[in-house]
With several copies, the nearest count.
Chain A
Amino acid sequence: MSALSSDAIIACDGLSKHFGGVRAFTDVAFQARRGEVTAVIGDNGAGKSTLIRCLVGVHVPDAGSIVFDGREHPFSNPDGARKAGIETVHQNLALIDELTVAQNLFLNRELVRRIGPFAFLDRKAMKREARSMLSRLSINVPSINQRVRRLSGGQRQAISICRAVGSGAKLVVMDEPTAALGVQETANVEALIRRLREQSVSVILVSHNFDQVRRLSDQIWVMRAGKMAATVRASETTGNELVALVTGAA
């Protein structure tokens, strides 16, 4: 596959990860260009989520190198990734069930007021901000003070998306962001992704919806059984070709 090109916001080469006896993926090269929407597709268990989690610092890869925004080995943990400007919508959503909607939206990015050497949470500001974040995405939740445990599947996903796009990241990574969303909400998220691109935020999108992928993305990467199988420009491919690439029939 390609050498790391200089216009990549994030790129990796020779990346491998296994868990005990299970190899999630081996020797993967991948890159996402600056300001583009880069899609990753592949069958269930192909290794997409694990690749994403390696890129954003959740897992430490067994081998291989990662370059983000020109720096090699840019971070070793998710905190570093977020500080460097990467926000992620994880497939499992990474919500804390016992915390409220507002607390989840600002987790590890809490707004504080400083009084002398101390920093106190600015809960009012966070709630205000949270409301406007949710309204921008037109997300319905019963209350911003509600614990997320009892929210519906779609409501939960919406909150996770809202958190990732709310803080001006350079790169937003979304692992199947619309899986649980309704038609309307899906349309909103797609519009949002377009807007992100307009604001030249780079996006990595994992999705099983090939129509969506072709509608939204510039470049498509195909994983198959733990390998990076192919990459194509979205404008130059068809749904059938994608199916063939994913299943290995090509």
Chain B
Amino acid sequence: MSNPTDNAPVAHSAGAAEESRPSLSALLLDPAFWADWASVVGLVGLVIVFGIAQPVFLSIANLQALLLAAAILVVLSIGQTFVVATSGIDLSLAAAVMLGAIILGLVNAAGYGIFIACLLAVLATSAIGFLNGLIITAGKIPDFVVTLGTLSGITGLGLILSGGEPTMVGSTFLLKLASGSFGPFGYPVWVAIAAVIVAHIALYHTRFGVHLLATGGQVESAGALGIRTNRVKIAAYTISGFCAGIAAILLVARIGSAEPQINTSLLLNSVAAVVLGGVSLFGGRASILGPAIGALMLTALVNGLTLLNVSAFYQPLAVGAIVVLAALIMRYQK
């Protein structure tokens, strides 16, 4: 028998893949590569098609407006990504945005400074996320049910707090946030970019990120290795809530008021962006760039269709077809 130490792991001839990074051409031939970058491919495809069909689409002003419009969805998709990575789902995300906006509006209307209002809004939505995570892990209730419950509960809370009325928020700080820009991008775009970077680092370059994926991948195995899977889940939901708070601030800044209305397409689109971005709803696999680009793609779709003057009746049909098509590129993903 061979000596256990002198037998280095020479990858054997058959069955061996290179340990070093594969070459570019090999990458381009591998369908899995295309699958991992489905949202990028989809986005580039959309940009080309829309750019040809309607040159205004590619104008700087329109691209800037597009990015501005996408910022909220990008932030939300990042929050959703953390939850989905743990094989959960946060259905209360859009409701949390509404509640955050209402709290912002009410605190501001009550005469407190706008910063305190923003802070309280983010605290409130983070608390909602924390609560979601706590109920899910302590109560061992499926994510779907708990967040559906909080979705309903928050809706009620928002209505009660606001009396069902929108609140104007006439803060110059928020107005600047919404309309000012630094360099080529508006501030909200920078906020989204910052969120992407921080989230990417958290996911790929910290222990928390690995533990998150492990929890989402096989919760029992992760637990057996000493990972506090419950804490990880609670953290993921809290992050999701935090992102909802940031999105609420961006939303109030953008529309200038806090509405007691839930934007359900924001919720569905956040999940769609996550899935288009190559994140598995069964957990264990995630990326941040993917969902962010997925969010961009979904926003570009509506923008382009509006520019092309596609009738409101035909828009949903087009959106549906394109979402499925974009997903088709993911077909080889394993």
Contacts and interface: CB of A to CB of B under 8 A. Distances in A.
A107 B227 contact: yes
B163 interface: no
Nearest to A110: B207
B214 A99 contact: yes
A112 B211 CA distance: 14
A93 B1 CA distance: 25
B226 interface: yes
Contacts of B26: 21
Contacts of B5: 136, 138
B8 A23 contact: no
B217 A108 contact: no
Given A134-B9, A140-B12, A95 B221 contact: yes
Contact of B12 (A95, A98, A103, A226): A226
A161 to B, nearest CB: 12
Q: Describe B's contact surface by its main secondary structure.
A: loop
A29 to B, nearest CB: 15
A83 B226 CA distance: 9
Contacts, number: 160
With a 10 A CB-CB cut-off, give which of B9, B26, B223 has the most chain A CB atoms: B9
Contact of B14 (A47, A94, A138, A187): A47
A110 B210 contact: yes
B17 A142 contact: yes
A97 interface: yes
B200 interface: no
Interface stretch (A33-41, A143-151, A201-209): A143-151
B54 interface: no
Contacts of B10: 140
Contact of B210 (A58, A99, A118, A140): A99
Given A225-B15, A227-B14, A97 B32 contact: no
Contacts of A21: 17-18, 22, 26, 30
Given A47-B14, A92-B221, A120 B226 contact: no
A136 B3 CA distance: 10
B214 A138 contact: no
Interface in A89-115: 90, 92-99, 103, 107-108, 110, 112
With a 10 A CB-CB cut-off, give which of B16, B205, B226 has the most chain A CB atoms: B226
A150 to B, nearest CB: 8
Contact of B206 (A119, A134, A138, A183): A119
B17 A143 contact: yes
Contacts of B15: 22-25, 45-47, 142, 225-226
Interface residues of A, number: 65
B254 interface: no
Contacts of A192: 4
A96 B18 contact: no
Contact of A184 (B2, B30, B280): B2
Interface in B177-229: 201, 204-207, 209-211, 213-214, 216-218, 220-228
Interface in B10-37: 10-19, 22, 26, 30, 32
A108 B280 CA distance: 22
Interface string A207-229: 00000000000000000011100
Interface in B277-295: 280, 284-285
A23 B220 CA distance: 21
Nearest to A123: B205
A96 B221 contact: yes
Contacts of B172: none
Contacts of A178: none
A45 B17 CA distance: 13
A145 B205 CA distance: 16
A181 interface: no
A135 interface: yes
Interface stretch (A1-9, A60-68, A73-81, A230-238): A73-81
A142 B11 contact: yes
Contacts of B16: 22-23, 142
A93 B221 CA distance: 8
A99 B13 CA distance: 24
With a 10 A CB-CB cut-off, give which of B205, B209, B213, B220 has the most chain A CB atoms: B205
Contacts of A90: 221, 224
B230 to A, nearest CB: 10
Interface in A11-54: 20-26, 45-47, 53
B7 interface: yes
Interface of B: 1-19, 22, 26, 30, 32, 201, 204-207, 209-211, 213-214, 216-218, 220-228, 280, 284-285
Top-5 shortest CB links A-B: A226-B14, A79-B226, A138-B7, A98-B284, A225-B12
13 contacts: A21-B26, A23-B16, A25-B14, A88-B224, A107-B210, A107-B222, A118-B206, A138-B6, A140-B12, A142-B11, A188-B2, A226-B12, A227-B14
Given A92-B221, A187-B2, 4 more contacts: A46-B15, A108-B211, A121-B205, A143-B17
